[in-house]
Structures are given as structure tokens and as C-alpha cells.
């Protein structure tokens, strides 16, 4: 029985532990860059309005940056801020040589067009990797020289977990659930670049279960609690669950209790998978770590220094 439990534990991809050691490595690279090159990587984080979840995300990003030795400066603007005022702030940050990364926390209030804001950020400072120039460079496969794409943080984190677990991904069949610009589409590009054969599925896909069953690698980013059942998963597949869904999980002590689940029915899937990321503690911690890595990469490129190589493959 004990051996059986140990084998189930061995299937869990511990994104929290991976992200912690990755952040230690980032801190050590930052320390070397500071002492050897005199470069102090810095990140500007812009938050518009009062969304409580966004306040927590921004605070966590700032704390993580400081812990890694990255200078983090918050710019908090009120809910009524006009698009023009926000773009002016971005102009100043684009022109400031001491700012290497700019992040605008989404969502933005209704009077502001998020696409216009993202496209106003200097692509070299776009540490979220959402600018069309970075998107284009990712699609054309430019990811490793000085003009390379900054890769969106969540898909980058997923790739690092996959490469750590599986090594070479060449020839594997991958299925991505979800086609958002933030997760699904960049995931498709990254897996294709890693020589996987990739299918991308979405809300209009027919035979979703059958498509998922083909996957050696299944990445789910749909935001539907426990949509993916055990019998949608090929035996031995590696499952990356990006979804974060707040659901009610009543207990006898607390009938109102809320908790987080992924897009995958974890308890059913664990018996079938080769490996799986839990929610929470899987992909989420990698997203912030990759934001820090992107900030260091951006700072190095802007200073004509070769950035650290973050990925093993």
C-alpha cells in the first residue's frame, strides 16, 4: 500500500518546488549580473483600478521580484484613469533606460482597450510576451538571439515543467485545450518548436474526448472545473493543468467552503497519467518565476549582455 502511494506521489509534477529552485537560480544570476556587469534588472508594474484579485497578483509579483534582487516599482492608477494617461505613463517607462520590463496587470477598466495598451509597450520591455511583435517572433521561431521573442510566462513555465519531466519532446503527440492568446496559442507554438505534433482544441471542437485520448502531452487551459476526466487521458500521458477554477467544496465543518480545482479531474486522472501538475501548486508558481526570468532576459538584451539560458532543451 505504501509503495502504491509513493508511486502516485511520483506522478505529481511539483511546480511549487520547481519554481522555488528556479527563483533561487534567478536570484543568483541577478546577483552575478549586478556584481560582474553593474546591471540592476528592474520591472515596472502598472495596476489600474480596484480589482481585489489584481491587487494580490501585483503584490505577489512585486515581492517575488524583490526577493530575486530585481527592482520592482509599482504604478497604481485609479479606476477612472483614461487610456491616454495610461499610454503617457507607458511612453515614459519605454524611454527610461533604467526600466527593463513593463507589465500592465489585466483586466483593465472598460474605458481602456487592452490591445492598444499592450501594443504601446516597447516589445523589448514586454515581459508578459503579449505584444504582437513578440507573438510574431514566436510564430516565426525567433526565440534565441538578441531580437528574439519574449515568451508569455505561463506557456514558458509549462514548457520548463515538460522538458524537466520528459527531456526531449520530439515526435510526441500533444493536445492543447484552449486557444487564448495568453496560454493556448503560444503553447501551440512552443510545442511545435519542440517537434511535437500538436492539435489545438476549443469550445467548438467536436469529439474532444477522442482527441484528448491521443495525447502523449495534454495541456488544458480552458477554465472549466474538472472538464477532463480520467477516461479522456491516454495511459502514461503527461498532463499539464493550467486551469484555475474557484468552486464550492463543502465540508461537514464548513458547508460554505470554497477551493481551487483545475480543468482536470485530478483524483480520477492520477491513476491513469504518467505525470500531472496539481492545482494549486503546479503551473501557477511557474508563471511568476518566468516573469522574473523574462525581466532578467529583457534587462540583459537591452544592455547587450548574453542572457542566462533558462531552459534545458
Cell numbers that stand for 16 in this block: 511549487
**DSSP readout, 189-257?**
HHHHHTT-EEEEE-TT-SSHHHHHHT-SEEEE-S--TT-B-GGGS-TT-EEEE---EEEE---SS-TT-
* Residue 61 appears among annotated catalytic residues: yes
With 0-12 CB in 10 A as exposed, 13-18 as middle and 19+ as buried, what is 197? Answer: middle
Contact segment (CB under 6 A) with ligand NDP among 56-64, 111-119, 143-151, 179-187 equals 179-187
Q: Is the bond into 73 cis (omega within 30 degrees of 0)?
A: no
177 is an interface residue for ligand NDP by CB under 6 A: yes
* 261 contacts 247 by C-beta, under 8 angstroms: yes
221 is an interface residue for ligand NDP by CB under 6 A: yes
- What's the rounded Cα separation, in Å, for the pair 182 and 242? 11
* Residue 40 appears among annotated catalytic residues: no
Contact segment (CB under 6 A) with ligand NDP among 94-102, 118-126, 196-204, 295-303 equals 196-204
Question: Exactly one of 41, 69, 101, 178 binds ligand NDP (CB under 6 A); which one?
Answer: 178
Q: Which of residues 134-163 bind ligand NDP (CB under 6 A)?
A: 154
Q: Which of residues 58-77 bind ligand NDP (CB under 6 A)?
A: none
* 312 contacts 163 by C-beta, under 8 angstroms: yes
- Which is nearer to ligand NDP, 69 or 243 (by Cβ)? 243
* Residue 34 appears among annotated catalytic residues: no
Q: Which of 2, 14, 37, 61 is catalytic?
A: 61
Q: Give Cα 286 distance to the centre of its chain.
A: 6
Q: What are phi and psi of 275, to 5 degrees?
A: -160, 150
* 190 contacts 227 by C-beta, under 8 angstroms: no
* 158 contacts 191 by C-beta, under 8 angstroms: no
Q: Which of 125, 126, 128, 185 is catalytic?
A: 128
Question: Exactly one of 75, 96, 193, 223 binds ligand NDP (CB under 6 A); which one?
Answer: 223
182 is an interface residue for ligand NDP by CB under 6 A: yes
260 is an interface residue for ligand NDP by CB under 6 A: no
Provide, rounded to whole angstroms, the least separation between the CB of residue 49 and ligand NDP. Answer: 19
Question: Exactly one of 90, 242, 264, 270 binds ligand NDP (CB under 6 A); which one?
Answer: 242
Write down how long the chain is: 313
**Angle, nearest 10°, between helix axes 284-302 and 153-166?**
110
Q: Provide the 10 A C-beta neighbour count for residue 306.
A: 9
243 is an interface residue for ligand NDP by CB under 6 A: yes
Question: Exactly one of 83, 94, 192, 245 binds ligand NDP (CB under 6 A); which one?
Answer: 245
204 is an interface residue for ligand NDP by CB under 6 A: yes
Question: Exactly one of 174, 190, 222, 261 binds ligand NDP (CB under 6 A); which one?
Answer: 222
Contact segment (CB under 6 A) with ligand NDP among 22-30, 134-142, 180-188, 209-217 equals 180-188
180 is an interface residue for ligand NDP by CB under 6 A: yes
Interface with ligand NDP (CB under 6 A): 154, 177-180, 182-184, 201-205, 208, 221-224, 227, 242-245, 283-284, 287
Which residues are catalytic, by number? 61, 105, 128
Amino acid at each position: 500500500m505504501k509503495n502504491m502511494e509513493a508511486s502516485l506521489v511520483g506522478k505529481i509534477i511539483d511546480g511549487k518546488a520547481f519554481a522555488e529552485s528556479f527563483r533561487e537560480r534567478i536570484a543568483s544570476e541577478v546577483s552575478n549580473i549586478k556584481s560582474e556587469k553593474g546591471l540592476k534588472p528592474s520591472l515596472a508594474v502598472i495596476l489600474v483600478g480596484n480589482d481585489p484579485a489584481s491587487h494580490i497578483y501585483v503584490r505577489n509579483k512585486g515581492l517575488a521580484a524583490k526577493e530575486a534582487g530585481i527592482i520592482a516599482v509599482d504604478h497604481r492608477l485609479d479606476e477612472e484613469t483614461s487610456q491616454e494617461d495610461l499610454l503617457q505613463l507607458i511612453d515614459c517607462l519605454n524611454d527610461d533606460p533604467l526600466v527593463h520590463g513593463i507589465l500592465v496587470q489585466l483586466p483593465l477598466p472598460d474605458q481602456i482597450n487592452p490591445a492598444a495598451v499592450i501594443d504601446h509597450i516597447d516589445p523589448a520591455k514586454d515581459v508578459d510576451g503579449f505584444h504582437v511583435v513578440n507573438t510574431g517572433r514566436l510564430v516565426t521561431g525567433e526565440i534565441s538571439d538578441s531580437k528574439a521573442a519574449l515568451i508569455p510566462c505561463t506557456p514558458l513555465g509549462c514548457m520548463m515543467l515538460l522538458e524537466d519531466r520528459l527531456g526531449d519532446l520530439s515526435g510526441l503527440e500533444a493536445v492543447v485545450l484552449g486557444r487564448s492568446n495568453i496560454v493556448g496559442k503560444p503553447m501551440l507554438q512552443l510545442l511545435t518548436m519542440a517537434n511535437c505534433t500538436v492539435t489545438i482544441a476549443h469550445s467548438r471542437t467536436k469529439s474532444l474526448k477522442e482527441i484528448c485520448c491521443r495525447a502523449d502531452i495534454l495541456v488544458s487551459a480552458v477554465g472549466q472545473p474538472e472538464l477532463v476526466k480520467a477516461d479522456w487521458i491516454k495511459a502514461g500521458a503527461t498532463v499539464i493543468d493550467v486551469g484555475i477554477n474557484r468552486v464550492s467544496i463543502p465540508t461537514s465543518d464548513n458547508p460554505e467552503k470554497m477551493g481551487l480545482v483545475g480543468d482536470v479531474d485530478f483524483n480520477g486522472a492520477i491513476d491513469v497519467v504518467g505525470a500531472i501538475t496539481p492545482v494549486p501548486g503546479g503551473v501557477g508558481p511557474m508563471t511568476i518565476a518566468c516573469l522574473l526570468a523574462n525581466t532578467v532576459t529583457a534587462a540583459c538584451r537591452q544592455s547587450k549582455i548574453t542572457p542566462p539560458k533558462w531552459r534545458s532543451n
